[in-house]
Amino acid sequence: MITLDEIRNVSFRKATVRGGYRAEDVNAFIDEVIAAFEQLKKEKTNLVHKIDVLATRVEQYKSDEETVRNALLASQKVSDACIREAKEKAAKIVREAEEKAQSLLVDANKTTAIEKENYLQLQSDAVALRSELIELYKKHIKAIDELPTEADLNESKSTLDQKYPTQPVKEEPVKEAEQQEEEPDAESAEPEVTDKHTENEVTEPAPKRSGKFAHLKFGDNYDVSAE
């Protein structure tokens, strides 16, 4: 393609001595210029089309950028709202947990105080029971101390022997012949009659004790707390 410098510096051959240029050179140059201008026009058209396309894309990019910006702003707002809501929920959960922990602590302190009172009351009851048992055992020991001892028995026996002396009684030996006469023959001996009423007789309960120590109670079933 012809350039501007070539157009400025173009030179034609002289047609005659007097002047003028050859027609074929001028026509050839004009053809080159026309071709160059047509090429430039095509390039210009292509460039204008490309510029339009680029401008359209730029506008589209601007529109997309605005959309993306709006989306980012909306996303940021949603994110901020979610963060704020999460913080509020977390603060609420922490507050409720602290309140519940405080309530549990108060209940635990109350329960501990009640259990302490119950324990001290049990200790007090045990102390009172111990005192009662000690008093009861003292009474029993005093009553036991009033019972006669072996020394008292020996002393009583000695006193009775001195006050009421007695002679020992000796049994006379029985003659062997008399024993044989008195003993019945084994074959002729009649069978011993057993009284059924005696066998089935129910043992009567022992009479109640009377006297100085009748109030004493003994046995496995005796409850000392019943006093």
For 36-75, the pLDDT digits (tens) are 888 888 888 999 999 989 988 888 888 888 888 888 899 8
Q: 20 near 10, Cβ under 8 Å?
A: no
* Alpha-carbon span 227 to 225, nearest angstrom: 5
Instruction: Report pLDDT for 167.
Output: 75
Residue 190, token pair as written in the block: 């009649």
- Higher pLDDT: 172 or 106? It is 106
* Alpha-carbon span 184 to 201, nearest angstrom: 30
Instruction: Report pLDDT for 136.
Output: 92
Average pLDDT of the segment spanning 12-21: 63
Tell me the pTM: 0.33
Cα diameter, the chain: 220
